[in-house]
Amino acid sequence: MSYEKDTHHDDVIQRSSSEEEAIQEQKNIQTVVSYNREDIGNLEHVVSTIISTSGREVKLTGNVDDAMRLALDAPKIVVTPEEDRRLVRKIDLYMFPLLCLLYAIQFMDKISNGSAAVMGLRDDLHMHGDQYSWVGSAFYFGYLFFNMGPGQFIFQRSRWLAKTLAGFVIVWGMLLALHSVPSVNYSSFIALRVLLGCAESMVTPTFTVITSQYWKKEEQFMRVCLWFGFNGLGGIWANALAYGLYTRQDSYSIEAWRVLFIITGLITIVVGVAIFFHIPDDPSKAWFLSEREKFMVVERIRSNQQGFGNHHIKWYQVKEAFTDVRTWLYFAFSVGSNIPNGGLTNFMNILIKSDFGYDTAQSLLMTMPTGAVELVACPLFGYLSVVCAKKKVPFLQYRLAWGIIAALISVLGTCLLAFAHDSPKARLAGAYLLYVAPVAFICVLSIISSNTIGFSKKWSVSSINLVSYAASNLAGPQTFIPSQAPGYTGAKIAMLVCYAATVVVLVALFVINYRENQRRDKVQAERGPEHVVIENMEFADLTDKENPNFRYAL
């Protein structure tokens, strides 16, 4: 019970507990602010303001995410767990076969370059010295250039994300087939590799955006593991195809390596056409979803605090991407992860042939298990992370833990490859273990998808990360110095240093995100309940630093 003095009667009035609770409840009344259709598209119109966890005032305008329109139309629906599971299975069934196939093919053409090298490409184009190393690097010159500006601008501005991607896939298939033209010489082959890098550079960032459009944060690591893991199928497919063509090379009127490029190019074109007609540009245009299911997609991704995308470039978000420490940790990780990747993609066939003493046909066969390791390891690690997350296993419940484990296995594999001089089998086992390394890269891709919100910021961070990816893959082949053949000791030492550095970066990323989540929880507890609640704020296209409700995935 509490008491107060009445101003009209100079006596004490007893106030009941229920009255006190009513007054307290009155103080805690929340004002609900709603977006409406008139707000959307009015880029400067301020709907409301919020305070970020850093204390900065953030204006919510009509420049929102595409998912906002669907969210405003969505009725108040109740989705049962069984309905949600059916929806996820349906999306997986319709989306994943083509996404996985395309990712297999984009790795297949990288592997085909190494396969063609042992099938006679270097001799027929009269390569000498480090010229083949530059063939590997040339692809990433194009990749680097396109990610530094044109790619981000085209794909963020486009409202036809999947169809734009399909057009690029068809062009890259044509360029790949042109590698076979008999009149191609070294300089024109280099030019084709540069253009191929431009055409292929948007696959990974587009897939990252698509993943964030359909699946919850906790589901994304497993999905990225699945489509990225099909790199392994691409490796197996490319080497099996190369082996079959090489063993029948006398049956063709042109060199077998040229036939390899024709076949991979035609396969790519067919898949590009399929992408154009099958993959929707965003969930609101998904031909395989009913209207209710589209509303269900919007409801299920609210927890991501992001939607489908925004096609206006917000320069303050670009600036935030460049000033966020996480961006540069992703950048550093990509350097450490992809210098080895660039070298191995172009030199694994050559390394197995020269360092282990196999002939050409044997080297094509012995390279196939590298793809099998990646094809199995990526989904396996993704599955284990899901199981551990459900059971709340300490540390292993976090996807970054599995990235750290994969990076440590890569360190072990490099040590075996570089230092097990007296055991060829141990060195070969080390070479195969290196293909667990993509799990760590997948982890970072899924972290970017989950933790970078604000569409302009997401594209910027993805582009910066892929600039690092391209530059590192460009540098990777240069670590294989011709004078160090067949052992390439310098390249192996470089791989060891790089993989060790990725372990440090992943640990730093985990610590920073963990501590920031704790800080945000503390700030929110001190502030208490918000007095202004903005409906559908998840789709206001705020960045992770602006949105006080956002927590970083670990």
Q: Is residue 386 part of a domain?
A: yes
Q: Is residue 495 part of a domain?
A: yes
**Total number of domains constituting the chain:** 1
Q: Is residue 499 part of a domain?
A: yes
pLDDT tens for 96-112 read 899 999 999 988 877 77
Q: Is residue 554 part of a domain?
A: no
Q: Kindly tell me if the per-residue pLDDT of 261 is higher than 70.
A: yes
Q: Kindly tell me if the per-residue pLDDT of 246 is higher than 80.
A: yes
**Residue 231 and residue 400: Cα distance in Å, rounded?**
21
Of 385, 91, 93, nearest to 225 (Cα)? 385
Are the C-beta atoms of residues 342 and 495 closer than 8 Å to each other? no
Determine the pLDDT at residue 9.
Answer: 43
Q: What is 325-388 written as a DSSP string?
A: HHHHHHHHHHHHHHHHHHHHHHHHHHHHHHHS---HHHHHHHHHHHHHHHHHHHHHHHHHHHHH
Average pLDDT, the chain: 84
pLDDT tens for 294-314 read 888 888 888 887 777 777 888
Q: Which residue has the higher pLDDT, 454 or 153?
A: 454
Q: Kindly report the length of the chain.
A: 554
Average pLDDT of the segment spanning 406-428? 89
Determine the pLDDT at residue 504.
Answer: 96
Q: Kindly tell me if the per-residue pLDDT of 367 is higher than 70.
A: yes
Q: Is residue 33 part of a domain?
A: no
Average pLDDT of the segment spanning 10-32? 49
CB contact set of 551 (below 8 Å; sequence gap of 6+): 517, 520, 521
Q: Which residue has the higher pLDDT, 52 or 45?
A: 52
Question: Domain with 156 in it: what CATH number?
Answer: 1.20.1250.20
pLDDT tens for 204-213 read 888 888 888 8
**Residue 438 and residue 452: Cα distance in Å, rounded?**
21
Are the C-beta atoms of residues 437 and 229 closer than 8 Å to each other? no
**Residue 514 and residue 271: Cα distance in Å, rounded?**
41
Q: Kindly tell me if the per-residue pLDDT of 354 is higher than 90.
A: no
User: What is the percent of the chain where pLDDT is above 70?
Assistant: 93
Determine the pLDDT at residue 5.
Answer: 38
Domain that holds residue 494: 81-527
Element housing 514 (H / E): helix 489-527
Determine the pLDDT at residue 217.
Answer: 86
Between CA 309 and CA 315, with CA 314 as vertex, the angle to 5 degrees is 145
Q: Is residue 4 part of a domain?
A: no
Q: Which residue has the higher pLDDT, 152 or 16?
A: 152
**Residue 403 and residue 3: Cα distance in Å, rounded?**
60
Q: Is residue 93 part of a domain?
A: yes
pLDDT tens for 170-186 read 999 999 999 888 787 88
Q: Is residue 59 part of a domain?
A: no
**Residue 4 β-bridge partners:** 13
Of 142-156, 331-345, 461-475, 519-533, where does mean pLDDT reach its minimum?
Answer: 142-156
Determine the pLDDT at residue 30.
Answer: 60
